[in-house]
Amino acid sequence: AISSLISVFITSTVVRKVHPFKVLLTYSIVAAAMLAVMVVHPTPTIARLTSIAIGFFAAGGIWQVGLTILSRYFPLEKGRVTGYYSFAAALTYFVGPIVSTFILDDTAASLVHVFVLDVAVSVLGIIVMIILAVRCFKYKFI
């Protein structure tokens, strides 16, 4: 939680100097890499260390940067975009645990499977971000 809070302040400074797509892509790649490290080396020490990085790069920074990008795409609809974006985030907070219950059983390996699914979703998100970034820079959207 502390790394997430720190990230909000640092990210707000970084976004003023670096293009938001680059920040979003970098944060997403680091967060996905930390998830992958957690899957490959599922030890308590690694979990503690990677959770700090994930808190900084995923929980604290990505949401705000994504909202910044969407607000630039739709400057006249900022309130509506914020509502839809927040609803989508809330939906994932609801659906994620439900999906996890179908994967989890009484073994520790099943918990690793949940994180494997999280890595897969993160990689898919990174691919989508790369496609959007290419389009953004090619057509000079923002």
Q: What is the dihedral of CA 21, 24, 82, 78, to 10 degrees?
A: -20
Q: How far apart are CA 116 and CA 136, in angstroms?
A: 30
Mean pLDDT of 32-40: 95
Q: How far apart are CA 137 and CA 129, in angstroms?
A: 12
Mean pLDDT of 70-96: 92
As given in the structure block, the two tokens for residue 53 are 């990085």
Mean pLDDT of 84-97: 92
pLDDT the model gives residue 41: 92
In the chain, domain spans? 2-139
Angle ∠(110,98,79) on CA atoms, nearest 5 = 130
Please tell me the pTM assigned to this model: 0.85
